[in-house]
């Protein structure tokens, strides 16, 4: 089993739609989780951190299910500018900023 | 305050040549990380360095790859005798000492193409 697994997509949704991505992780000891956004092979940028059961920031909601070892990202009222690849990231349990990235889920929002 | 600077942005090499990728961390950051992203894959950790020290190189291929972060100057990722499979985007990230993941910032990457 991969350390971090994501559905590669693509998810093609119209503007205004609600879309959700799931990510599963293998290390049950992981304490923190992240969603990054990557545009067209540019550098990944931190979108949200998840340290407890969940986190919400405007149209974005991240939820954590420790029992099932998955994290979800919900995007409400999708915008064209949300089109990107969303990377699920779990820190390596070594005590520094070594991150384990999922392969990403592609989202395409169309008019 | 400039971000993490990587150069070159694009690098083309023929098989057998050497590739040198440079990374200047953000001001005040003394920790540097290199990641590689192959086409259609996620980023993979390669190496973690502090000034003049390699802390963790568990993600580095055993041969041809080396990294350094000297006391002065940028961090260098060096790939000797490149092969087509080395073609990838190489991202550098930096963070200040003792900070959490929210303080980790990535550079724009170097796209290496091996002909």
Query: How is B18-47 classified by DSSP, letter by letter?
Result: -EEEEEEPPTT--EEEEEEE-TTS-EEEEE
3-state secondary structure at position B71: coil
Beta strands A11-14; A105-110: pairing state = parallel
Residue-wise pLDDT for B34-76, tens only, equals 999 998 888 999 999 998 999 999 999 989 999 999 999 999 9
Q: Name residues 23-62 of chain A within 8 A of B (Cβ).
A: 32, 34, 41-46, 49
Of the candidates A43, A92, A99, the beta carbon closest to that of B109 is on A43
Residue B40 pLDDT: 81
pLDDT at A73 over 80: yes
Residue A104 pLDDT: 93
Confidence band for A38, pLDDT divided at 50, 70 and 90: very high
Residue B20 pLDDT: 98
State whether residue B33 sits within 8 Å of chain A by CB: yes
Residue B92 pLDDT: 96
Residue A54 pLDDT: 85
For residues B20 and B8, give the distance between their C-alpha atoms in angstroms, rounded to a whole number: 9
* Mean pLDDT computed over A53-67: 91
Count of beta carbons in the 10 Å neighbourhood of residue A31: 12
For residues A1 and A25, give the distance between their C-alpha atoms in angstroms, rounded to a whole number: 9
Beta strands B105-106; B5-7: pairing state = unpaired
Residue-wise pLDDT for B70-114, tens only, equals 999 999 999 999 999 999 999 999 988 776 666 789 999 999 999
pLDDT at B31 over 80: yes
For residues B4 and B47, give the distance between their C-alpha atoms in angstroms, rounded to a whole number: 16
> Among B5, B32, B36, B42, which would you mutate to test the A interface (most chain A Cβ atoms within 10 Å of its Cβ)?
B42
3-state secondary structure at position B4: coil
Of the candidates B44, B91, B102, the beta carbon closest to that of A43 is on B91
Q: What is the DSSP string of A17-85?
A: --EEEEEEES-TT---EEEEEE-TT---EEEEEESSSEEEETTEEEEEETTTTEEEEEE-S--GGG-EE
Residue B96 pLDDT: 83
Q: How far does Cα A32 stand from its chain's mean position?
A: 13
Structure tokens at B103: 């303080």
Residue B59 pLDDT: 92
Residue A95 pLDDT: 60
The size of the A-B interface in CB pairs under 8 A is: 59
| Structure-derived torsion over alpha carbons of residues B67, B70, B74, B76, reported in degrees to the nearest 10 | -20
Structure tokens at A17: 């739609």
């Amino acid at each position: 089993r991969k350390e971090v697994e994501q559905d590669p997509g693509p998810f093609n949704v119209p503007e205004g739609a609600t879309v959700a991505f799931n990510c599963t992780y293998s290390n049950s000891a992981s304490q923190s989780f992240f969603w990054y956004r990557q545009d067209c092979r540019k550098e990944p940028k931190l979108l949200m951190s998840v340290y407890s059961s969940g986190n919400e920031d405007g149209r974005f909601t991240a939820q954590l299910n420790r029992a099932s070892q998955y994290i979800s990202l919900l995007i409400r009222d999708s915008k064209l500018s949300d089109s990107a690849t969303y990377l699920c990231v779990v820190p390596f349990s070594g005590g520094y900023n070594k991150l384990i990235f999922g392969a990403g889920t592609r989202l395409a929002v169309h008019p | 305050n400039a971000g993490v600077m990587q150069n070159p942005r694009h690098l083309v090499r023929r098989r057998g040549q050497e590739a040198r990728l440079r990374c200047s961390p953000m001001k005040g950051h003394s920790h540097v990380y290199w990641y590689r992203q192959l086409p259609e894959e996620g980023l993979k950790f390669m190496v973690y360095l502090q000034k003049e020290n390699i802390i963790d190189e568990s993600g580095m291929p055993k041969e041809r790859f080396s990294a350094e972060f000297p006391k002065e100057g940028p961090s260098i990722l060096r790939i000797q005798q490149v092969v087509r499979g080395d073609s990838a985007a190489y991202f550098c990230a930096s963070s200040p000492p003792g900070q959490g993941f929210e303080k980790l910032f990535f550079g724009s990457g170097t796209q290496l193409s091996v002909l």
